[in-house]
Amino acid sequence: MSFQHRFDPTSLREYDIRGIVGKTLSGDDAFAIGRCFGTIVKRDGGNKVAVGYDGRLSSPMLEERLVAGLVACGLQVVRVGCGPTPMLYYAAYELKCDGGVMVTGSHNPPDYNGFKMVLRNKPFFGAQIQTIGSMAAAGDVVDEAQGSSAEEDVSDRYVARMVKDYDGGERQLNVVWDPGNGSGGAVTEKLVKALPGKHTVINAEIDGRFPNHHPDPTVLKNLEQIIAEVRKQGADLGIAFDGDADRIGVVDNEGHMFFGDQLLVVLARDVLKNKPGATIIADVKASQVLFDEIEKAGGKPLMWKTGHSLIKQKMAETGSPLAGEMSGHTFFADKWYGFDDAPYSAVRLLGIVARMTEKMSDVRQALPQVINTPELRFNCPEERKFAVVDEVKQRLASSGAKVQDVDGVRVQTEDGWWLLRASNTQAVLVARAEARDEAGLERLKASLSEQLQASGLAAPDFSGENAGH
């Protein structure tokens, strides 16, 4: 039977395949992904693929069609069921699979879904995802063969392996957890039973309609429930996950949000005690405070491009034991596998907090205080977004400004810094600025606006709340 398929072009993204179910993503797409990704695995000499799915209403149907496509390539498919994305990555490693596919819409609205892939335990992204589109259009797949599929529940093994790295000693913590009705719910409930201390889990039921709040723990509004519970109980901290539990959000004992870069400071100090001089990676959106604190703790800070696949690749290249992004992706290669894993990062954080004499709020308040804009995203035509960044870069180069251009442009001044980069996944530009005081922040915003206007774009709306940080 001949095979050919065309994807909606908007669904083939930089780091994954994603779309609106019934509009830009269908069961036929899932089958085609199975056929094409399965072909790539086969041609690479592989024969075994792990598959998992999140708690969205459309996920079981998409998983079934995906598996059918993989099996039609003659592959052996291990179905690990509903759970977090990092559990699928774990399964791919531990079950010695040649590839892995996770059906997940991550933190997108309920009607979205998508696919994240790994090939030989490395991120599968960028040009590789575009290859799936061209293979499907050309019908370039291996001949149909009869593979097999079997279910294997790895959740207990995954939890036991995480708990093995808990190093908090005897202190009993009081912790509130919020998996946000996402696919990390059942694993969280197993995890808290295996950890010492008192644990309260809210929104544990996996429900793809996300009835309580949107599952993105980097947005303060989505943390209101966990903050209220932490304050009510006088808990030591709260831990929240996104829809597929590969991103973490943390609130301290006072109910204040710990930003992704502040969390990385805490994790990095701990890792560097045993690995002095190690390279710690963070994305270009992170605070200067983070890079300074890594240096103070005896590490080598490395600023890198935003994007979980790009960070994982750089970690492998540099031998970095720890990395993180502002978005809450946190990657441990120290004792762990180097992929982004929110439940595992939570276990490591709890170990650190249990060994601390001070409170989480003391740690946050002791960090140098800066103020910054939230991440500002504004529309820019697809064909102009990278060009605008290049134009800004060239103008700055001729003015002698101090510029870091690893991902867009990050401009350092006496006031602080501002960043302008093109999104890899949308027709938008992303900006951010950080200073020690309001006056400095205003000067940075003015400088950024001036550059945008010189490229024919309106200045972004800076009216969002500036965050103390």
List of domains in the chain? 9-156 (3.40.120.10), 173-366 (3.40.120.10), 371-468 (3.30.310.50)
Tokens standing for residue 96: 């010695």
| SS3 readout for the chain | CCCCCCCCHHHECCCCEEEEECCCECHHHHHHHHHHHHHHHHHCCCCEEEEEECCCCCHHHHHHHHHHHHHCECCEEEEEEECCHHHHHHHHHHCCCCEEEEECCCCCCCCEEEEEEEECCEECCCHHHHHHHHHHHHCCCCCCECCEEEECCCHHHHHHHHHCCCCCCCCCCEEEEECCCCCCHHHHHHHHHHCCCEEEECCCCCCCCCCCCCCCCCCHHHHHHHHHHHHHHCCCEEEEECCCCCEEEEECCCCCEECHHHHHHHHHHHHHHHCCCCEEEEECCCCHHHHHHHHHCCCEEEEECCCHHHHHHHHHHHCCCEEECCCCEEEECCCCCCCECHHHHHHHHHHHHHHCCCCHHHHHHHCCCCEECCCEEEECCHHHHHHHHHHHHHHHHHHCCEEECCCCEEEECCCEEEEEEECCCCCEEEEEEEECCHHHHHHHHHHHHHHHHHCCCCCCCCCCCCEEC
- What's the rounded Cα separation, in Å, for the pair 201 and 119? 34
- pLDDT (mean) for 345-368: 97
Worst-scoring range by mean pLDDT, 115-129, 338-352, 398-412? 398-412
Q: How many C-beta atoms surround the C-beta of residue 211 within 10 A?
A: 10
| CA 230 to chain centroid | 24
Read off the pLDDT of residues 149-206 as tens digits, 9 standing for 90 and up: 999 999 999 999 999 999 998 889 999 999 999 999 999 999 999 999 999 999 999 9
- pLDDT (mean) for 85-93: 98
What proportion of the chain, given as a percentage, has pLDDT over 90?
A: 92
- pLDDT (mean) for 284-289: 96
pLDDT at 451: 95
pLDDT at 469: 62
- pLDDT (mean) for 315-320: 97
- The CA angle 227-230-236, to the nearest 5 degrees, is 125
Tokens standing for residue 342: 């929110």
- Separation of first and last alpha carbons in the chain: 59
Read off the pLDDT of residues 384-406 as tens digits, 9 standing for 90 and up: 999 999 999 999 988 888 999 99
- In this prediction, residue 20 has a pLDDT band, given cuts at 50, 70 and 90, of very high
pLDDT at 351: 98
Read off the pLDDT of residues 211-223 as tens digits, 9 standing for 90 and up: 999 999 999 999 9
- In this prediction, residue 461 has a pLDDT band, given cuts at 50, 70 and 90, of confident
Strands 428-435 and 76-82: unpaired
Say if residues 416 and 368 touch (Cβ distance below 8 Å). no
pLDDT at 374: 85
The mean pLDDT of the chain is: 95
- What's the rounded Cα separation, in Å, for the pair 226 and 177? 7
Q: Is 148 a catalytic residue?
A: no
Contacting residues for 395 by C-beta, under 8 A, at least 6 apart: 451, 454
- What's the rounded Cα separation, in Å, for the pair 247 and 345? 9
Strands 248-251 and 237-241: antiparallel
Selecting among 11, 58, 59, 106, the annotated active-site residue is 106
Q: Is the model's pLDDT at 134 over the cut of 90? A: yes
Contacting residues for 399 by C-beta, under 8 A, at least 6 apart: none
Read off the pLDDT of residues 402-454 as tens digits, 9 standing for 90 and up: 999 999 999 999 999 999 999 887 889 999 999 999 999 999 999 999 999 99
- In this prediction, residue 210 has a pLDDT band, given cuts at 50, 70 and 90, of very high
pLDDT at 467: 61
Dihedral angle, C-alpha 260, 263, 268, 270, nearest 10 °: -160
Say if residues 166 and 137 touch (Cβ distance below 8 Å). no
Which amino acid is it at 151?
A: E
- What's the rounded Cα separation, in Å, for the pair 452 and 469? 26
